[in-house]
Structure 1
Amino acid sequence: METLPPELLTRIFSFLAIGQKTLAPYATISRAWQCTVEQHTFSQLSLSSDELERSNHAVVQSSHVHRRTSVRRVNYGVHLPDYDDNACGRFERQADRQINDEAFGKALVGLFTLLEVMDAGNDSRPIDLNILYFYSSMDINRRDTETLRAHEMAKSLGKRHDLFELRYQDSYLQLLQPESLPILHNVTSLTINGDTARKLAPAIAPGIMSRLPNLISTNFSISDMERKRPNRRTQLRSEFAKQLTSMPTPQSLQKFDFELRHVQPANESFVNANVRGDFHSPDVDDVSTALQRFWQAAPSLTNFKLSGSICVGPELFRSPGEDEEDEEKQQQWQKLKVVTVELSLVRPDGGWYIELDPDRGSDSHGEEEEEDEGEEDEFEYSGHIFHDRTSSQNSSSSGYDSSDSFFAMNELPPDSYGYDDEKRDLRLNGEEPSAYFRTKPTAELEVLFTAAAHAAARMPSLRNMRVSLEVRPSGRTGRKRQKIGFLYLAPGVRGAKDEGRERECRKLYWDAPKGWRMSGRLQDKWKFLLGDDGIVKYKEW
C-alpha cells in the first residue's frame, strides 16, 4: 500500500466513499491511507461550542498537517446555558438574555480563535463557515421524543408548568462585541441561519461580516416578525442598519443573499406600525437606506438578493432627494448582473403596497364576504394594537421585563399562557380574523418600481432583475397565489416564452391584476433602458 501513488489511492477511495456513511476505519490501513481518507473526512467539520477543545486537539494542534489543510467547510452550533424544570414555566427575563448573549459571544470567539490558527492570510485555502443552530438542552427541539411526550402529558394533566418554545420566542441573541472576534482571511463564504426557534438579532450578520475581509458570498436568514412590540422591532432594524453602515466596505463580496422574513398579517385590515427608525432620518427607512449604501459601495458585487418577504422602501434603490438630471454624480453598480427583491406587502412606514381594487369583478362574491369581515374588525383593532411592551402582556406575566434571572432564582411562580391568551396573541399579531382582499398596486408601490427602474438604468452589466410581491389567494386572484412586479432581461438572456428576435432584445415582463398598466413616469424610466427595440409584455390575472 505504501508504494501506491497518492493519485491512485484517492481514486480507489472515491469508489469506497460512494454510499458509505462510515469512512474513518479505512484510515487505519496505513499512513498513506490515513492521509487520503482524512483529506475527505476532515473536509467538513460539524461541531458545537462544547466540542471546541476536542476539535482544537484533533485538528489545529494535531501533528497531521493535512487535517488542517483539508478543512473546506465548518458547520457550527452554539450550546447556550441550560435551565431547570422550574424555568420551563417562565419567560426569559433580561438577565437570562444577557447570560445567553455572553455565552453566544464567547462561543463565536472560541470558533474564530480556532480558525485563526489555520489562517495563512491571503494565501489561505478558502473555508465555508455555516452558523446554523443555537440551543439550550431543555429547549423543545432538544428534548428527546420520550421526554417531550412525558412533559406534554404532565402539562395537560396540570402536573407541570411548561411554556415550551414560548419561553424564548421573544428573545433575540445579540453579539455584544463584534470587534472581539479575530479577523479571518480564510473564510470566503458565510451562512447564518438566524430564523429558528432561537432567533438572532439582524445586527449579528454585518457584525460577523466585518471580521471576514475576504468574504465572497453570504446567505443570511433572519426574522423581522416582532409585530406585537413595534418599538422592539424598530430597534432591531435600526441596530442592523447602524452595524451595516459602520462596517468596512466588503471589497471581495460577489454574492449577497439576505432573507429578512416579514410575513404580512393574515388580517389585511391590520394597522401596521411605522418601523422606519431614525438612525439615518425619521423620514426614511433605516434598513432600506443602509442596504442601498452597502450594495452600491461593494465594488465586486454581481448578485444581490433580498427575500423574506422583506419589508423595504424605495430608498433601497435611490437616495432621497437624488438629483435625476445630474447623471455624472449618480453612482453606478458597475458589476451587478442579477438583482432579486421579494417584497412584503407591508411598507416600513406601516402602510400597504396593495389596496382593495374598486374595479373587482362580480365573480368575487366570496372575496367580498372576507372583505366585510376584515373591515368590521379594523375599528376594533386600530385603536389599541400598539401598546408598549408591558401592556401587551397578559396580567399573569406582569413581571415579564423584570431583571430577575431563572439561573439565580429557582422558586419563582410559573407564567401563564393559556388558551385565551394565545387567542388574544393571534389577534394582536394580526393573524385573526383572516381577511384577504388587497389586490391593487398603490401609488407607493409604483414609486418603488420607479426607483428600481432608475437603478436598473445605472447597472451597465445587468442581466436579470426581478422585483415583485406575492398576493394571497382570494376571489380576485382566482383563488391562486399571484404576483405583482416585473422581470427585466438583458439581450441574450432567454425568457420562458421568447420567440425569434425576442431573445436578442431587452425585455420587461409584468405580472399584474387585470387592467393595470405602468404610469407615465414609470413607463418613461423603462423606455430609457429598453430602447426602441425593447419589448414589454403583461401577464394579467
Structure 2
Amino acid sequence: MNKIPQEIFLDILSDISNDPKDLLPYVTVSRRFQYAIEPSYYRQFVIKNYDLPMFSTLFRETQAHRKGLLEKIYLETILPSYNNENCQQNAIINNYVFSAAVLKLFQVLESLNDNVHVNGGGIYLKLDDISSPSDARLRKKHERALFGTHIRLVNHEKLPVLTCVSQFSCGRGSNSRKYDPISMLCVASKLKNLQLCWIDYCDDPDYCTVKSQREIRHAFAKALSTYPRSLPELEIAFSSTCPLDEGTTLPDLIPSSMTVDPFNLALHKFIERSGLSSLSFSAQHIISPEFFWPYDDANKVLTSSSQIWLNMREIF
C-alpha cells in the first residue's frame, strides 16, 4: 500500500466515493488511508459544550498531525432546562455553564499554540448559538426575559492566551440567547494574533429597556478603552434600528455629566491603542460629529486626530 504513487492512491479514494462520510470505514485500513481521509473531517468542527471532552481526545499529542488540519470551530452551548417558575432564576447557572465551556475549549486550543502543525493562517473561532431545550416551549411567555438578558463570561481572567486563533465571532441566531458584548470583547482580548473580530452588540429596544441599553453601552465603552492588544479589523453588529417615524425621540444614552458621547471617546482610545485599520458598524448606530473630530471633553476643545487615524483605512 505504501508503494502506490500518491496520484493513484488519491484516485482510488475518489473512485470509492466523493462523499467523505463514505470514506470513514476505510480509516483503519492503513495509516496512509487515515492520513488521506482525515482532512475531510478535521478542517471544521461544530461542537456542543458536552462534546468538548471527546474533542480534546481527538487532538491529543499522539495525533499531533490533526492540529494542522483544523481551520474552523463553532461552539454551541446547551443550557440546562427550566420551568415557568425558575425561568429568570437560572442566570447564574447559565453564565457558569457557558463560562465552563469556553474555558474548556481554550484549554484544548492552548495545546495548539506555537505548534508547527497548526494551520498557518490561524483558526476561525465562533461562539455559536446558545440556548436551553426549554426555550422553544416557553419562548412566547418569557420572550423578554430570554432575549432581554445577556449570557456573561464570568472567568475571563482564567482563560489562557491563544496564539492559534486569527478570527473570532459570536452568533446571533433568531432562536439563540444573546451574548454579553463586553464578555465577547474579553474573549477577543485573549487571542494574541487576532486579525478580525466580529461582535454581536444586542441592544434591541424590543427586549432591552433604556436603562439596560445605557448600562451596556457604558460597560462596553469602558472595555473598548482598555482593550490591551492590536487588532486590524473590528465589526460591531448592533440590534437597534432607526424608528420609522422621524419625529420619534431617540433614547438619551449619554450620561448627563458629559457633553460628548463617551462611546465615541472610547472608540478613539481603542483605535489608537489597537492600531485598527478597518471598522464596520452593522445595523444602526448613532454617530455624533466628535467621532470624526476627536474632542477633549475636559478642556472643551478639539484635539489632533492624526494619531487616531494613522492606520485607519476604512469605516463603514
TM-score normalised by the chain length of structure 2? 0.85
Alpha-carbon distance between aligned partners in 2 of 1:298 and 1:90, rounded to the nearest angstrom: 45
The 3-state SS of whatever aligns with 1:107 is helix
1:41 is the counterpart of 2:41: yes
1:177-213 Cα deviation digits (max 9, x unpaired): 3212111111111011246441112212211111011
1:99 is the counterpart of 2:93: yes
Report if aligned partners of 1:128, 1:190 keep a CA contact under 8 Å in 2. yes
Counterpart position of 2:130: 134
Give 1:293 deviation, angstroms. Answer: 1.9
Counterpart position of 1:247: 227
1:303 is the counterpart of 2:278: yes
1:97-144 Cα deviation digits (max 9, x unpaired): 12211221111111111111222279953111111110111121xxxx
1:53-100 Cα deviation digits (max 9, x unpaired): 11112x1326222222221111111111221xxx2x35743x421221
Counterpart position of 1:209: 188
From the superposition, tell whether residues 70 and 49 of structure 1 become closer, same or farther in structure 2 (CA, over 3 Å).
same
Alpha-carbon distance between aligned partners in 2 of 1:54 and 1:201, rounded to the nearest angstrom: 28
One-letter code of the match for 2:222? K
Report if aligned partners of 2:189, 2:227 keep a CA contact under 8 Å in 1. yes
Give 1:292 deviation, angstroms. Answer: 2.4
Report if aligned partners of 1:49, 1:78 keep a CA contact under 8 Å in 2. yes
Counterpart position of 1:331: 307
Report if aligned partners of 2:228, 2:274 keep a CA contact under 8 Å in 1. no
The 3-state SS of whatever aligns with 1:76 is strand
Counterpart position of 1:112: 106
Give 1:40 deviation, angstroms. Answer: 2.6
From the superposition, tell whether residues 310 and 11 of structure 1 become closer, same or farther in structure 2 (CA, over 3 Å).
farther
Report if aligned partners of 2:227, 2:274 keep a CA contact under 8 Å in 1. no
Alpha-carbon distance between aligned partners in 1 of 2:203 and 2:5, rounded to the nearest angstrom: 54
1:215-265 Cα deviation digits (max 9, x unpaired): 011222322113662111110111111112222031xx3222221221123
The 3-state SS of whatever aligns with 1:309 is coil
1:238 is the counterpart of 2:218: yes
Q: CA RMSD in A?
A: 3.0
Alpha-carbon distance between aligned partners in 1 of 2:11 and 2:170, rounded to the nearest angstrom: 34
Percent identity, please: 23
One-letter code of the match for 1:133? D
From the superposition, tell whether residues 200 and 47 of structure 1 become closer, same or farther in structure 2 (CA, over 3 Å).
same
The 3-state SS of whatever aligns with 2:130 is strand
Counterpart position of 2:288: 313
Alpha-carbon distance between aligned partners in 1 of 2:55 and 2:147, rounded to the nearest angstrom: 32
One-letter code of the match for 1:2? N
Alpha-carbon distance between aligned partners in 1 of 2:186 and 2:80, rounded to the nearest angstrom: 23
Report if aligned partners of 2:68, 2:117 keep a CA contact under 8 Å in 1. no
The 3-state SS of whatever aligns with 1:102 is helix
Counterpart position of 2:65: 66
Which sections of structure 1, spanning at least 5 residues, go unmatched?
A: 141-147, 153-161, 341-541
From the superposition, tell whether residues 236 and 42 of structure 1 become closer, same or farther in structure 2 (CA, over 3 Å).
same
Counterpart position of 2:51: 51
